[in-house]
Structure formats: C-alpha cells, structure tokens
Chains A and B, each alone.
Chain A
Amino acid sequence: MTKISKASTRGVGARLRRKEDDRFLRGRGQFVADIKLAGMVEVAFVRSPIAHGRIRGIEKPAGLEHAVFTIDDLKDVRAIRVVSALKGFKASEQPVLARGKVRQVGEMIAMCVAPTRAEAEDIASQVFVDLEDLPAVHDMLQAREPDAPLVHEEWGDNVFLETLWDDDLTALRASAPVRVTRRIRTSRQCMAPIEGRAVLCHWDRRLDQLVMYTAAQMPHINRAGLSECLGIDQGKIRVIAPDVGGGFGYKGILLPEEVCLAWLAMKLDVPVRWLEDRREALVASANCREHHYEITGYADRDGRLLGIECEATVDSGAYSSYPFSACLEAAQVSSILPGPYKMERYRCRTWSVATNKAPILPYRGVARTGVCFAIELVIDAIAREVGIEPHEVRLKNLVRSDEMPFDNVTKKHFDSGDYPEAVRRAAAAIDLPNIRARQALGEADGRKIGVGFSVYCEQGAHGTSVYHGWGIPMVPGHEQCFARLSPDGVLEIRIGAHSHGQSLETTLAQVANEVLGVDPANVRLIHGDTALTPYSTGTWGSRSMVMSGGAVASACKEIARRVKRIAGKVMDAAPEAVELEDGFALVPDTNKRMPLSEVAHIWYRQPQLLPADIDPGGLETTAGYKPARDSGTFSYACHAVVVAVDVELGQIELLDYAIVEDGGTLINPMVVDGQILGGTAQGIGTALYEEMPFDREGQPLASTLADYILPGATEMPNVRIEHMETRSPYTEFGQKGLGEGGAIAPPAAIANAVNDALKDLGVEIVECPISPRRLLAAIEGALRARRSTAA
C-alpha cells in the first residue's frame, strides 16, 4: 500500500476542482450526437406496440424496400445470447431484430434508414407489421404461476434461474421469541441519464475496420459482443466512447441497436447513426429495480437478530442482457441480503423470472437498493415489535470494528470499517432526542414527522474470485494502465475503463501526482477508445477508483523508477537518493533538482547522456494491478432522514437528511460528495417518485417524463455528509469503491421515517415509491383495520 503524503494539495485527499468541468460547463463536451460524418444517414426503428405476440408478416412500404431492414436481411447476424455457469440457468436468445415473436413492448422489428431522423420515422410509420396477440406475462409473481403464459416456450416455465442459500431454520421457526414477516416490493424503474443511448458507426476502408462511436461504459466489452454477433475479428472493430452523459448501468450492455447499426454500416458503406429518444428509453429499454420479497426476521426480545428467511423474486424482463445476464440482481440478492448484520441462521431462495417487459439492467446499486429496502424495513419492524429505538437495534446487530476483517453468514469478506460508529454519528447528526421531543409536541400544521435510518454496505471492485463462479462472458482480472512521460514532461495515462461522470480525469491525475509529483494539470487521461487503451471490462461495480487508480499508481511507480535512474545519472546521485516532488526530480538537502520535462527531454532527445544499462523501455510502460485481495472493498454509510407527512394528501417532505459515510481513503472528497449527492437524488426518486407501471397486457404506462416523475432540484433536501475514512487494507491507497451507495439507502431510510411518523396510526409502508396514492391507501387501510377491530 502506498503511503500518502500528509499535506497534499493536489494528490490523494485533495479537494481538487474537476479538470473536465471546463469543457462540460461551457457546453463543449463532445457526445455521440455532436459528431457528424459526411454522408451520414439516420436510423429509426419500428418497435413492437404489444408485449407479446407472434409476427405473421412484415410489409415494407412500396418503393421504400431499400430503406427498411428486418431480421430476414440480417439473417447472418447471431442473436445476443448470454450464458452463465450457474446451475440451472436458462439462456435466452435475443435476436437483434424480432424473429417470429415479440416479447416486450418496444422490441425492435425493423430498421429504417433516411437522411434525417424525421424521415426515417416517416418510413417506420409506414411499415405494416401483422401481429397476433398472445397473453402477456405482466407481473413477476404471475410469471411463477404454473399456468402463466410462456415468454420462451422452449423453457417450459418462466424462470431464468432459481437459487437457494440453504440452512435449517426449523428450530428458529419454533423458538424465536420475535418473528416479523413482511411482503416488500420495489417498483420497476427507468434509468434516466441526461444523454440517452447513441450509436454512430462507419467502415474505415484504410484500416479495414468498423468504427463505432457509442455512449458506452465498457467499450472493450461492447467490442467483444459485436465480434461475437457479427462474426468478425475483434481487431476489425474499434469502439469509441466519447463524452458520455451518465451511465448508471444503462450503458453497460451490448445493445441490439449497436449490432444492427454495425451491420447496416457494412451493408450501406456510409456512416449510420441512431440517437435514442426519451420515449424509446422509457418504453423499450431503461428498465431496472423490480423486486419482491417475502421476508421473515427472527429476533430475541432484546432485538438481537437470530436469523433471516427470504423468498425473493426479481422481474428480469424478456431477455438476458450482455454481459451481466438476467440473473445479476436475483442471484446477488441471496448473497448480499445479510450485509453487515450478524446472524446465525440464514436461508434465501431467489427467482429470476422472465416477463414480457424490457430486460432488467443493472442500475447504480444493482440489487442492493432492493435488498437494503427489504432488510432495513424488517429491522425497523423488529424494533417496533420489541420497543427499542431502531438505531439501537442496528447497533446491537452490526459487525463491530474489532471484528474486522469479518466474514459474514454468506462468506462476504468485509475488509474494514466501523458500522456502529456510523450509526451513532448519524443519530447524533440528525439529533434524534430533539426529533422525539418534537414528535411528542406535534406539529402546528397537523403534519406528522418521523425519523428513519438505513444502513447498507457496497461491495466494490470485486474481481476474479467473486465473478468466476458466475461464468458470464466477462470476469474481471488485472486492470491495466499505459503511462508515458512525454518529451515536454506531460504525463499521458491510458486506461480501458471509462469516465462518464466519475471525474476520473481529475482523480486519476491526483493519483499520478501522488506517486510522480506531476502537476495534475499536466496529466492527460486517454480513455474510451479500444484502439488507444489497454483492455478492460470497463466502468461498473464501483471499481474504477480502486482498479484503474491502482493501475495508474503501478504505472507511475514504474515511470518514477526510470525517471530516478535518468535524473540520478544526470545529477550525479544514486537513483534511490532522488525524490520526485512538484514536477521536479531532486535530491533532498542539496541544490540538485531538475524538472521532469528535462528528464524526459534527455530520454527522447539527448540519449547520449544516459547510462549504458538504462531501461530500454524508457519513459513509457504498461502496468497491471489487482488488489492484494480481490473479494471487494466494502464502503458503507448510515443515512438518517426526518420526514413530515401530510396524512390528508399522502405527501412527504424531507425536512433533514444526514449521511455518515465511509469510503476508505478518499482520493477527492469533493468528488465523493458529488457521487453521494447524485446517488441520493436517485435514491429519493426510487423512494418517492419513480415508477414504470404496466397494465395487464404488459403495456408500459409512462412514455414521457410527464408520466415518469424524476426528482429535481426542488425535491433534494440539503443533505449533510460526514466522512469516516477507514482504509481498506487491500487497495493501493486504502480507497474503496463508492460510486453507487448514495442510490442504495434512501428508499429504506425514507420508508422507515414515514413508518415512524405514522406508527400511531398503525400504518406501515412496504412498497416504493411511496406515492400519495399508495400512502393514502395504506392510511385508509390502517383506519379500516382499526375500525373493524374496534367494532
């Protein structure tokens, strides 16, 4: 592990302003839609208007046959097929354009080409698709019923995968003093990065290569997937992810649209472009999050957790997306549900079910948001049952710092941290005694206030040892960085991961500064281009700061070693006597110092000054990195929120919000705050606003942002963040992955606060988002139950 210089103003730990903001804030970023190539044509897709149906025929409009393509034209293109080594996993075949059947609203049926998007849409509207309606699987619990319609007939059921974490709970069921069972549900959501998906593709005749610009998080993986579907060598494909306006997981898959456009560019030999619009995203693509839990918590009268038993169902949609598969969420649920809580007994069965909806995709937090919602609601239910403050029940059950590192009941290896301390500090930050006193007095405006807590952990940067068991097409190994000290002393670093809001241009420059002393302004990050960067599985799973950060440090260390040799020779000092500081190589306590640019100049332009045994690799190198242990870093937080509930309208206001977070060593605390705030905004969306409803025919009922409500500036409370910095013992600087946590905890914290506010009414919310309709129904239900008891 690298020792960190104490008073760094530009290295690890500095609140350095973001380098990338200059172009972004001036509107000078370059996204796919900003790129225009000569002769470029635009694509619009004919998409299925129904959730499940058989295609009887497709008629291309007369005279426009040349501008419309169906799967019969793309017959040599292979379907997207994700396999998994998990026992019993059923693979789905997702043809890039529908073949024979459609299995979701928005499934692509035909591809239409015209000089402009409007004209392409005109053509699309004239394509006649003869569809025979089939009954739709519209709900995940319905999907499991024996007489449910079949999404993939050849399977015989609708189950992608069933898993079981087995344990014998017989004794516990009979003897546990406290047992709470809840049916808990999270709604289907749509991710909403500001930039939609976008693909621009052409064939480079000189390089004999397909060049694809795409808004992607994992360009190297997209290249591999394209190669598999198109049957051409990976070397003949170059994938470029330019500036990308938010990913969140939505851009971490191989798109059928990408495959279609690649085929089309080769077919037409002109640049072809498709820009997703918001309606396509909402209706056809951006789905995530839909979980159902039947969960029981067993505890003693002191609120000590004895065991958890759970049946979890995840609505995986119609197809398995590449590379993470349809089981990414449900299969993880069983292993991450216990999280940082200690318990003796644990049993969990999960189902990943196929429905006639868009494929579920990994969204910031992946399965954790649902899992956190389920277990944190159960913890509060136990607290109410035993009459102990909810945060105290957490203190009794969370792993303690003196137990670290800790292997929990599912063998998750917690690297470090002090979870109880985070809870104590959150309770202090939210001023719990004051809230309790205020509750006793009541509110002047008649609203009811409540306080809620939630705790989560976020496994990040987990690698080979975790993923190999999945057998998906992508298991991460070492991460690499190519570094070069240029002749003018500018450090160029190239990584295969991608920054689409993570601020890697800034934070990796801080890492380079920490190791090499180079001014972050003189560090140039090159990323997002398979032709220019080392291979990488890309940016996902909160891995980049640990993995790419580690790789950049490794490469910089090697460059430092070589710089010291050259500088030592020139300054007549032993290499080990040379130190690197503020862009200089120097020998402390002497007047020997030279700028890095001079060292570089000597290597490139005055090699006669170099020793004979100089490293012939010079000032460039590719270095690989993997943490000392790759079972993942565990960042975590405790969120505490105060809500005011208008019980007449079912409206919730967030009065106060405090987060005590531990991300290990923070490379740039300002960037971390940004990650937490952005994630929290999304978590508030999950808690209160975001929902894609479906009718019984599988029709998505929100097709614009007027129907699909996102949180905005007016819905964000003034979130107060406190940092703890417990170093990970396994990573380069002790840093932990933390990009997703903000989006995990809010639904649980807010629901717990609402339930705290309404506990006198006997109201308990177990579904999100907590819309006014849902909340009023729960209040009405509680009142009715009370009346019937009274009667």
Chain B
Amino acid sequence: MKPVAFDYEKPGDLATAIALLAGANGEGKVVAGGQSLGPMLNLRLAQPRLLVDVRGLEALSAVEESADATTIGAAVTHAAIEDGRVAPPTGAFLRFVAADIAYRAVRNRGTIGGSLAHADPAADWLTALLLLDASVLVEGSGGRRTLPAAEFVTGPFQTSLAADEIAVAVRIPKLSRAARWGYYKFCRKPGEFAEAIGAVLHDPERGIARAAIGATGGAPHVVASAADLLGGGAAKAALHMVEEAGLGEDAYERQVHLVALKRAALRLMESRAP
C-alpha cells in the first residue's frame, strides 16, 4: 500500500496552481487535507502524476461576509468550522455538521472544499450544502464560474470540475432568524461513514422548506418542497421522498433512510424557534 511515484508542487498562489494543473494533461490532482486522497493514493486507486497542494493559498482560505451570504474558502478545515472560527451564516447548523465528521484528527486536516470535490456520497458536507442550496465558486484556466452545489456534484465521486479547475470557495445563503433545521446521521459507530443521512431545513421568512437525503448510492437527493414533512402526514411524506430518491429496492436502505429523514424532521420540530 504505497503510492505510485508522483510529483508534488506547493504553489504560492492560485494562478500558479491552476497553471500547474493545466500543464499536467489531466494527470494532476489537487490535494488539501488529504484525508480521502491519501488513502486512495496508498491503495493505488488514484495514480496522479502530479499533486498540487493548495493548503494555505490565500484565495482558498478567506471567509467573506455579504448581506445575503457567507463565502467560505475551500481550504477551510472542518475543525475551523466546528470551533466557530468561521462566522456561521446558518445559526449552529454548520458547526453541528462539522463536529460530527469522522474524528477530530480528520477534521483538523480535512477541508470543506476537498470534501465537496471528492464527492463521496456518504460525506456530510455534500448533503448539508445541498440542503442549504449553497454554490461552489470554481476557478480554472478559462476563468471563474459559480454553480449550484447540486450541479457541482454530478454523481458518486463525480463533479463537474474540469481537469484544470479548482473549487475555490463555497457560498452559503444566509438564513433568517426564524430558520430551523434538523440533521440526522446514522452510522455504525461514531466517525464511521454514514449509512444514511436525513436533513431538513425550514425558513418560513425565506419560503424554504427543503429536505435532503444523503449517503445514498449517488449524489444526495434534494426535495425542494418538503413542507409535508413538518405536518401531520410526515411519515407518509417521508416514505414517498425516500422512494423518490430511488431507495425503495433494498428494505434496509429504505428503512434507515426513512428513519433518518423522519428523525431529522422531528429534530427540526423539537428545536426551539429562535
């Protein structure tokens, strides 16, 4: 379990990083925390010729506030978010999600952008950021573009990033003070990959009642109009959503996703309105 030989560069700015990727003929790979890529290199599942280390790049570390959104640099670690070192645009939601990602040792190094770009269906950020309708800021040789997280992630371990593009930041819309959320992750033991994730967001002032079903075989399933989860027919609505997500086949898959979604909705209902 030793990697195939590769070159390693740690450029000082984003432009150089992009140029290095562009020059690698599709055989370059961005590394930040390395918490997923490291094992994949060791297992030889990934065999890039060149690793471009983007840790510490200013363009990827910044956190910017605007009236309606917070933009978090892609290289910000889970731990920084967990510890509240990043001003949360969403009440305690991001901190709650961050605090339950793998183990602290992983959170110390793993980054929010890296997690998105890796696009592991079981990853927390994937589900959480889709729930929040976040956008991903991407920069490459062709310039800068912004795309919704739902379009950024195209499938299991698949994104719409071009070979010379880097996820630079995540833009998260601010919620109103009336917003409430519920997030439920089911895994075999703390720190383990999720078997099922249910996430529900309700912001009446912004007209949001959204749900996301994560840790599926592919990209998380987002339900844009999930108000039914918050009323009397929640159980039936949840079952319908889980089946819509394509999880009807396997009894276990259906059951654990159904329960995760119902419990997320319950947590939302039980959370005190601010």
Contacts and interface: CB of A to CB of B under 8 A. Distances in A.
8 contacts: A118-B5, A125-B44, A648-B259, A650-B256, A689-B188, A712-B189, A714-B191, A773-B252
Interface in B230-274: 251-252, 255-256, 259
A362 B195 CA distance: 32
Would you list the 3 A-B pairs with minimal beta carbon distance, nearest first? Answer: A118-B2, A277-B1, A714-B190
B251 A780 contact: yes
B15 interface: no
A420 B189 CA distance: 35
A197 B252 CA distance: 37
A649 B259 contact: yes
Contacts of A125: 44
Contact of A776 (B5, B189, B251): B251
A709 B252 contact: no
A279 B256 contact: no
Interface in B165-204: 186, 188-193, 195
Nearest to B42: A277
Contacts of B259: 648-649
Contacts of A689: 188-189
B48 interface: no
Interface string B66-108: 0000000000000000000000000000000000000000000
A619 B8 CA distance: 62
B39 to A, nearest CB: 7
B251 A122 contact: no
Contacts of A279: 1, 43
A651 B44 CA distance: 34
Q: How would you classify the secondary structure of chain A's contact residues: helix, strand, loop or mixed?
A: helix
Contacts of A714: 189-191
A118 B189 CA distance: 33
B152 to A, nearest CB: 24
Interface residues of B, number: 21
B189 A711 contact: yes
A361 B73 CA distance: 50
Nearest to A707: B193
Interface residues of A, number: 27
A650 B5 CA distance: 44
Interface of B: 1-5, 39, 43-44, 186, 188-193, 195, 251-252, 255-256, 259
Contacts of A122: 4-5
A35 interface: no
A712 B252 contact: no
A63 B192 CA distance: 44
A4 interface: no
A277 B44 CA distance: 13
B256 A704 contact: no
B193 to A, nearest CB: 6
Contact of B252 (A117, A121, A704, A772): A772
A776 B192 contact: no
Given A704-B43, A706-B193, A649 B251 contact: no
A715 interface: yes
Contact of A121 (B2, B39, B189, B255): B2
Nearest to A276: B1
Nearest to B251: A780
A626 interface: no
A777 B189 contact: no
A780 B4 CA distance: 47
A81 interface: no
Contacts of B255: 648-649, 776
B118 to A, nearest CB: 13
A118 B252 contact: no
Given A704-B43, A772-B188, A777 B2 contact: no
Contacts of B193: 706
Contact of A777 (B1, B4, B188, B251): B251
B2 A117 contact: yes
A710 B255 CA distance: 24
Given A118-B3, A121-B1, A122-B5, 10 more contacts: A116-B2, A279-B43, A649-B255, A650-B256, A706-B193, A709-B189, A711-B189, A712-B189, A712-B191, A776-B255
A602 to B, nearest CB: 57
A780 B186 CA distance: 19
Query: Which of B3, B5, B43, B189 has most chain A Cβ within 10 Å?
Result: B189
A609 to B, nearest CB: 63
A278 interface: yes
Nearest to B262: A648
A772 B195 contact: yes
Nearest to A280: B1
B235 to A, nearest CB: 12
A763 to B, nearest CB: 15
Interface string A122-134: 1001000000000
Contacts of B4: 118, 122
A125 B192 CA distance: 31
A777 B44 CA distance: 36
Nearest to B189: A715
A273 B137 CA distance: 48
